[in-house]
Chain A
Amino acid sequence: MTATEPTTAPVTGAIEPPGDHPFSKGNLIKTLVGGYLPLLLATLVVFLPLAWMVLSSFKTPGEIVTANIKVLPESFYTQNYVDVTTTVPMARFFLNSTIVTVAGTLIKVTLAIFTAYALVFVRFPFKNAIFIAILVTLMVPPQVSILPNYILVAGMGGKNTLWGIVLPGLGTAFGTFLLRQHFMTLPRSILEAAEIDGAGHWRRLWQVVAPISLPSIATVTLVTIVNEWNDYIWPLIITDRPEAMTLPVGLTLLQNSEGNTGAGWGILMAGTVLVILPVLVIFAMLQRYIVAGLTQGSVTG
């Protein structure tokens, strides 16, 4: 997990409990209570709410608006899903979210690599000031920028467009910061060798720096994907047509104003399942890389 950090030897495995015979009765109970119980509890706390979401999405309005809740739905009621797909264009939301995430991530990560490379390996004045200026933007909450950015992007005709959703987030402080920290740790000798070979910055970046920094770049990529996919407030402001909406924004379309009644929850849960489940599936497949990636910055930084 910390393979990119050359100085610390990663130690896998835990601290051995000294003494006790491994199969004694006391030890077994200790393992169960001290070892498995917390793990089981933590896992349940995560899964039960999600399971409840799935179960509720198959319940009829009558089963939801009742004081006598039953855990399992009476029948496999799929009308909620039908309602979701007929009231809002779910497929379109998926497509939009995918495009926004893929395009946004590609550009952001590329820009971050460029910037970090320049900050570490290219000589130019005010380098540190620029770096701090980039860092400071980590502290500009995106909600704060809504109004000025809306005025600008809408003025450029970016309302209800996918580029309008992507554009303001492209400048990336987080990725730049993380990659810069990583590039700083690279041994200068490798680059000097490339420089002697006559390689320009472009070749040095792609042939030397990028390949040995793949884990860090993967980290930045994964973090960016998660953020882009879940981004809510900006897409909410800049879109009002379903054709241009992303999933989280589209999901809120399923809520209703004055006169909402019980049926609402079932439909909302069905919509939420459609938004959350794909992410969970992908996460389950890639969890090793995602968990390692998302936390990697912490150990190196």
Chain B
Amino acid sequence: MTSPFDRRRFLELAGLGSAALALAACGGPSTGPAATTAAADIDFTNVKPAPSIDYWSSHPGQSREVETQLVAAFNAANPGITVNLITAGATYEDIAQKFQTAQSAKSGLPGVILLSDVWWFRYYMNNNIIPLDSALKLLSVNTGDYRDSLVKDYQYAGKQWAMPYARSTPLFYYNKDHFKAAGLPDRAPTTWLEFAEWAPKLKSSTQAKYAYMYPALAGYAGWTLQNNLWAWGTGWSKDWNITCDSDDAITAMQWVQDSVYKGAWAGVASKTATDDLAAGIASTTLSSTGSLIGILTTAKFPVGVGFLPGGPKSTTNVCPTGGSGLGIPSGITKEQQLTAAMFIKFVGEPANAALFSSATGYMPVRKSADMSAVLAKTPQIQTAIDQLAVTRVQDNARVFLPGADQEMAKATAKIVTQQGDVKSTMADLKKTLTTIYERDVKPNLKG
């Protein structure tokens, strides 16, 4: 074949291209100065709820069935209004991807969206979600009956940006049979140092490959390692100061690395740490309370749960909260927003909160949720509820910096799967996190 490529033809092509460029200019963002006015409260007086909205969920903690049930109950209780339950992905990230694509196209937005702890702040910064205060007031939602720490998680600039829904904390899970075989007390260790003493016993007296399994790094490292960092007296950050390269942090992460390499009693899960526990590969692990019901049904042995262990610097308040809440997009009509608020109110009602909690193991978000029936069946949930009193607000670096969670997972991977140097890895992480803060967050902070 003769060459279709020569210079003159490329010039013709370039002409064609510039025509297409003109065509491309429509759509996309405007390049004016960023809107700096803080979102005003929306006035919902005389607004009638829209007849139909979508609710985007990823069914966290195998909640597809109970969510279907809740949505059906809402539709039955509100004749003329339909909420459609949409599986918008398998993970929080999938939902976020869909939401932001829809946001850019300004079409196809849901009425209610499930937002995880690391996503809502970004939506707030982008003006993608509305403050809920006026709607909650209009619908006389008893916010005082929600668990305070969970509600506070979504407050920023004096406004409420989401309401708690599938809220979790990490929980320490252990194989009671293994503990008995190793002659250990039937409880979670009080500190990681205590567990380091237990670990060799667990390894020598059971079939388990690992005494402890670190949860899969993606999605968990940034979250659960806060426990270690706090126990060693530091954190990923203090307010907006990144502290992940402090001496305490390096000691903490060095301990983590040693548990995998030097002590060789800990492993790192590649997918689901609770599966490793259920299969008897690991004697203990850390996982979300949202895994509780799942693990209880899969494991063929008695499963014990306990508070997260402390460390050399602090032994209490070393547990982060986590999970997801519900928010309302700004790009939809007031009518739709009102229906959305009604739905958020509905799923938060004490009976429904209890139902959701019992099906998944997530926290009952309401103080008055009657958990007696649930606890009779699954007493382990009580531990999760008790631990709520000693939780600590997550580090800004993890929840407010876009992509920070991934960066933390990457740094951790370097430390625990490639035996990378802890000090330099954490120094690099600090550099990355600082860049993200300076570039993506600081300029967008209003008020």
Contacts and interface: CB of A to CB of B under 8 A. Distances in A.
Contacts of B175: none
Nearest to B300: A62
Given A151-B27, A155-B105, A159-B108, A258 B275 contact: no
A261 B168 contact: no
Given A128-B4, A132-B13, A147-B104, A257 B60 contact: yes
A52 B298 CA distance: 22
Interface stretch (A74-82, A237-245, A283-291): A237-245
Contact of B62 (A133, A155, A260): A260
Interface in A242-265: 242, 252-253, 255-264
A67 B323 CA distance: 30
Contact of A257 (B13, B54, B92, B295): B92
Contacts of A214: none
Contacts of B98: 237, 240
Given A131-B4, A132-B9, A147-B101, A259 B108 contact: no
B62 A150 contact: no
Interface in A87-106: 87
A65 interface: yes
Given A65-B275, A67-B279, A135-B4, A256 B62 contact: yes
B429 interface: no
A136 to B, nearest CB: 8
A258 B86 contact: no
Interface string A180-214: 01001000000000000000000000000000000
Contacts of A148: 24, 27-28
A261 B12 contact: no
B60 A258 contact: yes
Interface in B48-94: 54, 56, 58-62, 64, 84, 86-92, 94
Interface string A202-243: 000000000000000000000000000000000001001110
Contacts of B27: 148, 151-152, 155
Given A65-B278, A255-B90, A259-B294, A154 B168 contact: no
Interface string B253-295: 0000000000000000000101100111100000110110111
Contacts of B28: 148, 151
A129 interface: yes
Nearest to A237: B101
B281 A67 contact: yes
Interface residues of B, number: 60
B361 interface: yes
B16 interface: yes
A154 B107 contact: yes
B381 to A, nearest CB: 14
Contacts of A256: 58-59, 62, 90
B323 A258 contact: yes
Contacts of A181: 1
A255 B88 CA distance: 12
Contact of B5 (A61, A87, A132, A253): A132
A66 interface: yes
A124 interface: no
Contacts of B105: 150-151, 154-155
A174 B297 CA distance: 51
Interface in B1-43: 1, 4-5, 9-10, 12-13, 16, 24, 27-28
Nearest to A261: B294
* Dominant secondary structure at the A interface: helix
A263 B360 contact: no
B9 A154 contact: no
Contact of B90 (A67, A151, A252): A252
Contacts of B293: 259
A23 interface: no
A128 B290 contact: no
A259 B288 contact: yes
Contact of B16 (A129, A147, A259, A262): A129
B291 A257 contact: no
A62 B56 CA distance: 31
Nearest to B274: A261
Given A65-B298, A150-B104, A152-B27, A258 B291 contact: yes
B139 interface: no
B102 interface: yes
Contacts of A259: 60-62, 274, 287-288, 290-291, 293-294, 360-361
A240 B54 CA distance: 10
A261 B64 contact: no
B91 A262 contact: no
Contacts of A147: 101, 104
Nearest to B289: A259
A66 to B, nearest CB: 5
B176 to A, nearest CB: 18
A181 B60 CA distance: 52
Contact of B168 (A66, A151, A160, A258): A258
Point out which of B28, B108, B287 has the most chain A C-beta atoms below 10 A from its C-beta. B108
A262 B290 contact: no
A255 B272 CA distance: 12
A159 B110 CA distance: 13
A4 B101 CA distance: 46
A256 to B, nearest CB: 6
Interface of B: 1, 4-5, 9-10, 12-13, 16, 24, 27-28, 54, 56, 58-62, 64, 84, 86-92, 94, 98, 101-102, 104-105, 107-108, 166, 168, 207, 209, 219, 272, 274-275, 278-281, 287-288, 290-291, 293-295, 297-298, 300, 323, 360-361
8 contacts: A62-B300, A154-B107, A159-B107, A257-B60, A257-B90, A258-B60, A258-B219, A259-B274
Given A147-B104, A257-B94, A260-B272, 18 more contacts: A65-B275, A67-B207, A87-B64, A126-B12, A129-B12, A131-B4, A132-B13, A151-B27, A151-B28, A151-B105, A154-B102, A154-B108, A159-B107, A160-B108, A240-B56, A255-B90, A259-B287, A261-B297
Nearest 6 CB-CB pairings of A with B: A259-B61, A255-B90, A129-B12, A261-B294, A259-B291, A154-B105
